[in-house]
């Protein structure tokens, strides 16, 4: 399973630095107007001019690379400000221009991002621990912290919940939440476009189905497939507040154990395929199993936004739209 490039920027920078290729991290720290990329977006630049990620969708990357190469030469971080014209904005799919501030930090050096701090950030991301990378640009003081921070803990917790980086006084707070994950139960036709859409949206997606003829490499090339029973698969996978679960089999023997496992966790989304009548029978089974009305109310069913979807790809679009709305709007 290939993770989206913009989700592994700190890892890429650390790899380049340790390989002796030099690395700088560019981070969007403020935006005004219609900015191409949100605050917190990052771009890694090697001393050879290689890049990974994006800070503007293409508008100012060239200028940022030049500044990053200079930062690698002199070891000095810097703050850059760019105005994105209406024409440039239109070229990357926006209606109008805006202004962005970009922080460029060489890895290592007297004032640069310490390698040890970058390594700790990468380790936290690998362990799926939410952390905040704090930088004070007027002095280049830094610390890696979390929601228990003595000074900014409450604010960091709120920013983590909103997945939103930004300034708090003199500190820039860069939020690094665990990567989004999705578990799809049921290797049915809808799952084929859904898995592809999930990856395009930045999710680390896993498909679970114990039926040998369903979850095959031929039907799902390049996807992560698990042929265990859904409840066991979900327990092994691990469920948390950055995980969405979608059940698609229409078979209570497969869906219900997965639903029970998801309801016992803090997944941010649980959606289940089936008609209103099918869901009513599902509710009765869950009530009989001891689940409370509040727990059952977490289920999105019939799954997906009501946009009149009919074809499998259209249903997958509706599911991804509902997942996105739940993630971003609560």
**In this predicted model, what pLDDT tens digit does every residue of 190-218 receive, in sequence order?**
999 999 999 999 899 999 999 989 999 99
Q: How many CA atoms lie within 13 A of 195 on its CB side?
A: 25
The pair of structure tokens assigned to 235 is 């327990």
Query: Would you tell me which CATH number, out of the four given (3.30.2080.10, 3.40.50.720, 3.40.50.2300, 3.40.50.1220), belongs to the domain 181-329?
Result: 3.40.50.720
Helix, strand or coil, per DSSP, at residue 227: coil
Tell me what pLDDT residue 95 has: 47
The residues facing 25 across adjacent strands are 44, 105
Q: With 0-12 CB in 10 A as exposed, 13-18 as middle and 19+ as buried, what is 71?
A: buried
Shortest CA distance to 304 belongs to which of 293, 294, 314? 314
Tell me what pLDDT residue 85 has: 67
Shortest CA distance to 303 belongs to which of 269, 253, 252, 260? 269
Mean pLDDT by 10 residues, the chain (330 residues): 59 98 96 79 96 84 94 96 67 60 95 97 94 97 97 96 94 95 97 97 95 94 96 96 95 97 97 96 97 97 95 98 92
Shortest CA distance to 326 belongs to which of 123, 112, 146, 182? 182
Residue 324: which residues within 8 A CB-CB, separation 6 or more? 201
d(CA 305, CA 232): 29
Helix, strand or coil, per DSSP, at residue 126: helix
Shortest CA distance to 135 belongs to which of 30, 212, 228, 225? 30
In this structure, what DSSP letter does residue 180 have?
P
The CB-based long-range contact list for 138-146 (8 Å cut-off, 24+ gap) reads 138/170, 140/77, 140/111, 142/113, 142/114, 142/117, 143/117, 144/117, 144/120
Shortest CA distance to 326 belongs to which of 238, 237, 234, 244? 244
d(CA 201, CA 131): 22
pTM of the model: 0.80
The pair of structure tokens assigned to 6 is 């913009």
d(CA 56, CA 145): 27
Q: With 0-12 CB in 10 A as exposed, 13-18 as middle and 19+ as buried, what is 245?
A: buried
Do residues 39 and 165 touch, judged by C-beta distance below 8 A?
yes
User: Where do the structural domains in the chain lie, given as residue ranges?
Assistant: 5-176, 181-329
Strands, sheet with 171-176, edge to edge from the N-terminal-most edge strand: 141-145, 131-136, 171-176, 166-168
Helix, strand or coil, per DSSP, at residue 161: helix
Do residues 45 and 26 touch, judged by C-beta distance below 8 A?
yes
Do residues 260 and 270 touch, judged by C-beta distance below 8 A?
no
Helix, strand or coil, per DSSP, at residue 36: coil
d(CA 28, CA 35): 10
């Amino acid at each position: 399973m290939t993770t989206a490039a913009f989700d592994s920027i700190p890892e890429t920078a650390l790899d380049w630095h340790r390989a002796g290729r030099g690395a700088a991290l560019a981070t969007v720290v403020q935006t005004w107007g219609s900015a191409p990329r949100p605050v917190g977006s990052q771009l890694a630049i090697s001393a050879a001019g290689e890049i990974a990620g994006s800070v503007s969708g293409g508008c100012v990357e060239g200028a940022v690379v030049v500044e990053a190469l200079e930062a690698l030469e002199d070891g000095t971080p810097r703050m850059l400000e760019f105005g994105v014209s209406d024409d440039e904005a239109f070229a990357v799919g926006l209606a109008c221009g805006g202004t962005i501030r970009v922080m460029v930090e060489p890895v290592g050096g007297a004032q640069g991002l310490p390698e040890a701090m970058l390594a700790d950030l990468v380790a936290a991301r690998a362990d799926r621990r939410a952390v905040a990378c704090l930088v004070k640009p007027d002095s280049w003081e830094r610390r890696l912290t979390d929601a228990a921070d003595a000074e900014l803990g409450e604010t960091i917790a709120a920013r983590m919940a909103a997945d939103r980086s930004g300034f708090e006084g003199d500190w820039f707070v860069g939020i690094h939440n665990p990567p989004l994950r999705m578990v799809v139960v049921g290797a049915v036709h809808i799952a084929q476009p859904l898995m592809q859409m999930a990856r395009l949206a930045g999710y680390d997606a896993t498909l679970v189905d114990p039926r040998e003829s369903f979850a095959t490499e031929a039907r799902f090339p390049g996807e992560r497939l698990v042929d265990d029973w859904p409840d066991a698969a979900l327990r092994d996978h691990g469920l948390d507040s950055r995980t969405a679960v979608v059940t698609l089999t229409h078979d209570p023997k497969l869906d219900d154990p997965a639903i029970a496992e998801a309801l016992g966790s803090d997944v941010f989304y649980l959606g289940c395929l089936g008609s209103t009548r099918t869901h009513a029978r599902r509710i009765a089974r869950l009530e009989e199993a001891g689940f409370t009305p509040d727990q059952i109310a977490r289920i999105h069913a019939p799954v997906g936004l009501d946009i009149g979807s009919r074809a499998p790809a259209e249903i997958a679009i509706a599911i991804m739209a509902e997942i996105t709305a739940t993630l971003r709007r609560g």
